[in-house]
């Protein structure tokens, strides 16, 4: 049993085109310039529906994390325990992710940088200690 | 923003009936069957007749197995107020609030609020709350690839943030588990009544660090119903009324964006402010706290947000056992969701009604003139508060 593979769809295509090229893509509102973690149809700040795709720095800090010991999906049996992280990107949005480091080396606030690993048909961001 | 307390507590309604099914890990009846039993028990408890019920508010749990037209399954033929509500764990508190408004306005006279859930069907309940079997594409599929599943994880991430910002410790989370278990040991209907030490807590297996098994609630099959009516009507019924003297809600927008600290500042701040203003009381006036405790951390952060401890100091606050039997701040006096039963917001609400009436037996708190109920929904996304009193003259200005 393998982990669930992410799949690109119509709305998320620009994100996965970015990861394929080693870039973490975000959305930004053309009206109020607020960044959004994709995919949002409407800006939650100004409620305008005019978001553009922009490249992010791929840099951020560890906002919080947990270490999973319970098996929720059989595809993770060989990965336990594994970490789940919330990364705050320099541009503002926070995203779920994994940090590629032993759990006992994780510290809230540590600086991180996105790298990309293959996952089925797409590339996905995984964060490394900067 | 400060709440404008123009509310007249004489119209706040009263809880006059409480009905529960057996709380169990076994599958007995469907959600609909469980709901019917709880409603029947609540009607009997109140000394009412089924034909008196003219309002019904319905809240299915995680399985979503209650239909909005539950009045048909219950054979209610006089229903003039009805809806299915979903504020997740906050719904029980919300139901009593909307029922109070309805009986105050005359839209209905006797409103049943019922929750039922049947997540356990011979398997693990983790599946229902984990969501790992959902088929998703696009960005949600990225979430699944990281193995970021379930409510346990969301609350664990929030707890970690609190630990990092304020130095909250594993021992302090454990202190909540231990004091809550002490209450459960005094409650005959609590599902987990064995002795628990802090060592037992630390030795229980990790689920999602920083949560051990004993940081997490105990998923339950069952149903609970309460009946709300007007204060006038309440006086003539069988049970001592639990008057609703304060109510409030708070539903943070929770932006996943720099600057927001939603993990450590919950909707209880806003909900509590409104409820306190309405009742004309503050944290120092609360005798008993019944707080939604899906996790130990939820108790800890909620105590801060209702003003019992300054922000960030919930850990040291709970560490000395003051929440337990004989402590200065009796909290979750039936054993809570952690040790007793997990019926979403009906867990704190049911125990609050028992305490307000003075019917808690071995786990009854001596002073119970002001009882706080906290109902938490989602991953700290929704919140509803009630303040109950056995005294019809309690609250702002002492209107009666
Ligand atoms: Zn905008």
State in Å: Cα A58 to ligand 1 middle: 22
> Residue B264's closest CA among B254, B274, B273, B272?
B254
Catalytic residues of B: 292, 342
Residue-by-residue pLDDT tens, chain B, 400 positions: 455 555 555 557 999 999 999 999 999 999 999 999 999 999 999 999 999 999 999 999 999 999 999 999 999 999 999 999 999 999 999 999 999 999 999 999 999 999 999 999 865 565 666 766 667 899 999 999 999 988 999 999 999 999 999 999 999 999 999 999 999 999 999 999 999 999 999 999 999 999 999 999 989 999 999 999 999 999 999 999 999 999 999 999 888 999 999 999 999 999 999 999 999 999 999 999 999 999 999 999 999 999 999 999 999 999 999 999 999 999 999 999 999 999 999 999 999 999 999 999 999 999 999 999 999 999 999 999 999 999 988 875 444 3
Q: Could you tell me how many residues make up chain A? A: 130
Domain assignment present for residue B237? The answer is yes
Q: Are B224 and B343 in contact (CB under 8 A)?
A: yes
Closest-CA residue of chain A to B254? A44
A70 touches B: beta carbon within 8 Å: yes
Residue pairs spanning A and B at CB distance below 8 A: 120
C-alpha to C-alpha distance for B294 and B277, rounded to whole angstroms = 27
Between B170-184 and B296-305, two packed helices, what is the crossing angle to 10 degrees?
Answer: 100
Closest-CA residue of chain A to B126? A72
Range of the domain at B328: 9-122+218-389
Domain assignment present for residue A112? The answer is yes
Chain segment A66-111, per-residue pLDDT in tens: 999 999 999 999 999 999 999 999 999 999 999 999 999 999 999 9
Task: Look up residue B49 and give its two tokens.
Answer: 């007749």
A47 touches B: beta carbon within 8 Å: no
Q: Are B134 and B114 in contact (CB under 8 A)?
A: no
On chain B, the residues whose CB falls within 8 A of the CB of A15 are 139
State in Å: Cα B347 to ligand 1 middle: 40
Q: What torsion, rounded to 10 degrees, do the Cα atoms B209, A26, A116, A87 define? A: -20
Range of the domain at A101: 13-129
Tell me how far apart the terminal alpha carbons of chain A are, to the nearest angstrom. Answer: 32
Q: Where are the beta strands (DSSP E) in B309-358?
A: none
Chain segment A31-74, per-residue pLDDT in tens: 999 999 999 999 999 999 999 999 999 999 999 999 999 999 99
- The DSSP element (H or E) to which B14 belongs, if any, is strand B14-20
Q: Which of B258, B263, B265 to mutate to test the interface with A (most CBs of A within 10 A)?
A: B258
Domain assignment present for residue A61? The answer is yes
* Residue B12 confidence (pLDDT): 79
B157–A39 CB contact, under 8 Å:
no
State in Å: Cα A42 to ligand 1 middle: 8
State in Å: Cα A50 to ligand 1 middle: 8
Q: Which of B148, B153, B161 sits opposite A108 (nearest CB)?
A: B161
Helix, strand, coil percent content, chain B, rounded in steps of 5: 40, 20, 40
Domain assignment present for residue B160? The answer is no
* Residue B400 confidence (pLDDT): 35
Domain assignment present for residue B198? The answer is no
Q: What torsion, rounded to 10 degrees, do the Cα atoms B22, B28, B29, B31 define? A: 60
Q: Are B19 and B41 in contact (CB under 8 A)?
A: yes
User: Domain tally for chain B?
Assistant: 1
* Residue B128 confidence (pLDDT): 66
Percentage of residues in chain A with pLDDT exceeding 70?
Answer: 100
Q: Which of B126, B141, B164 sits opposite A6 (nearest CB)?
A: B141
Domain assignment present for residue A4? The answer is no
B150–A72 CB contact, under 8 Å:
yes
Q: Which of A3, A39, A93 sits opposite B256 (nearest CB)?
A: A93
C-alpha to C-alpha distance for B391 and B400, rounded to whole angstroms = 9
A23 touches B: beta carbon within 8 Å: no
State in Å: Cα A87 to ligand 1 middle: 22
Under DSSP, is residue B197 helix (H, G, I), strand (E, B) or coil? coil
Question: What CATH number should be reported for the domain holding residue B268?
Answer: 3.40.47.10
Task: Look up residue B272 and give its two tokens.
Answer: 């509590």
Residue B224: how many CB atoms within 10 A of its CB?
Answer: 31
Domain assignment present for residue B183? The answer is no
On chain A, the residues whose CB falls within 8 A of the CB of B259 are 92
Helices (H), chain A: 13-20
A102 touches B: beta carbon within 8 Å: no
C-alpha to C-alpha distance for B70 and B34, rounded to whole angstroms = 12
CA distances from B297 to A119, B169, B294 (A): 34, 11, 8
C-alpha to C-alpha distance for B242 and B115, rounded to whole angstroms = 19
Domain assignment present for residue A25? The answer is yes
Domain assignment present for residue A3? The answer is no
Residue B64: how many CB atoms within 10 A of its CB?
Answer: 11
Radius of gyration of chain B (CA): 20
On chain A, the residues whose CB falls within 8 A of the CB of B164 are 64, 107-109
User: Domain tally for chain A?
Assistant: 1
C-alpha to C-alpha distance for B153 and B144, rounded to whole angstroms = 12
Question: What CATH number should be reported for the domain holding residue A67?
Answer: 2.40.50.840
Q: Which of A10, A35, A70 sits opposite B207 (nearest CB)?
A: A70
C-alpha to C-alpha distance for A90 and B259, rounded to whole angstroms = 12
Q: A84 to chain B, minimum CA–CA distance in Å?
A: 6
How would you classify the pairing of strands B55-60 and B110-117? parallel
Helices first, then strands: H and E counts in chain A: 1, 8
Q: A21 to chain B, minimum CA–CA distance in Å?
A: 17
* Residue B393 confidence (pLDDT): 85
Report phi then psi at B206, rounded to 5. -70, 140
Strand partners, A65: A85
């Amino acid at each position: 049993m393998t982990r669930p593979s992410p799949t690109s769809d119509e709305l998320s295509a620009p994100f996965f085109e970015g990861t394929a090229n080693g870039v973490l893509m975000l959305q930004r509102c053309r009206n109020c310039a607020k960044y959004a973690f994709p995919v949002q149809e409407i800006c939650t700040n100004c409620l305008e529906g005019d978001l553009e795709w922009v490249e992010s720095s791929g840099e951020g800090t560890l906002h919080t994390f947990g270490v999973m010991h319970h098996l929720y999906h059989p595809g993770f049996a060989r990965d336990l325990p594994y970490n789940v992280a919330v990364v705050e990107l320099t541009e503002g949005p926070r995203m779920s992710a994994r940090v590629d480091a032993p759990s006992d080396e994780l510290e809230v606030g540590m600086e991180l940088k996105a790298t990309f690993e293959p996952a089925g048909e797409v590339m996905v961001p995984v964060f490394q200690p900067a | 923003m400060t709440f404008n307390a123009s509310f007249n507590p004489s119209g706040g309604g009263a809880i006059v009936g409480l009905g529960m099914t057996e709380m169990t890990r076994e599958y007995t009846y469907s959600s609909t069957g469980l709901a019917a039993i709880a409603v029947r028990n609540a009607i009997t408890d109140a000394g009412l007749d089924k034909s008196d019920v003219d309002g019904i508010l319905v809240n299915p749990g995680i399985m979503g197995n209650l239909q909005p037209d539950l009045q048909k399954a219950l054979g209610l033929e006089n229903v003039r107020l009805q809806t299915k509500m979903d504020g997740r764990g906050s719904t029980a508190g919300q139901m009593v609030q909307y029922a109070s408004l309805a009986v105050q306005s005359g839209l209905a006279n006797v409103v049943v609020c019922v929750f039922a859930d049947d997540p356990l069907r011979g398997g693990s309940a983790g599946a229902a709350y984990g969501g790992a079997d959902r088929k998703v594409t696009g960005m949600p599929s990225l979430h699944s690839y990281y193995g970021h599943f379930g409510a346990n994880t969301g609350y664990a991430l929030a707890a970690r943030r609190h630990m990092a910002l304020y130095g909250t410790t594993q021992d302090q989370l454990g202190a909540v588990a231990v004091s809550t278990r002490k209450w459960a040991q005094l409650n005959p209907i609590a599902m987990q009544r064995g002795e628990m030490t802090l060592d037992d807590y630390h030795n229980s297996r990790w689920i999602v660090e920083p949560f051990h098994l004993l940081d997490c609630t105990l998923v339950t099959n069952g149903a609970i119903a309460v009946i709300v009516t007007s204060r006038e009507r309440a006086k003539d019924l069988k049970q001592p009324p639990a008057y609703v003297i304060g109510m409030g809600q708070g539903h943070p927008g929770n932006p996943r964006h720099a600057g927001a600290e939603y993990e450590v500042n919950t909707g209880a701040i806003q909900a509590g402010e409104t409820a306190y203003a309405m009742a004309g009381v503050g944290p120092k006036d609360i005798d008993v706290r019944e707080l939604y405790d899906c996790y130990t951390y939820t108790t800890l952060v909620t105590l801060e947000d209702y003003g019992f401890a300054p922000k960030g100091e919930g850990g040291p606050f709970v560490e000395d056992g003051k929440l337990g039997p004989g402590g200065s701040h009796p909290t979750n006096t039936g054993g809570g969701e952690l040790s007793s039963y997990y019926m979403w917001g009906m867990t704190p609400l049911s125990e609050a009604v028992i305490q307000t009436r003075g019917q808690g037996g071995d786990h009854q708190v001596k002073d119970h003139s002001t009882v706080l109920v906290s109902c938490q929904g989602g991953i700290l996304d929704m919140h509803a508060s009630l303040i109950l009193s056995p005294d019809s003259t309690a609250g702002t200005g002492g209107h009666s």
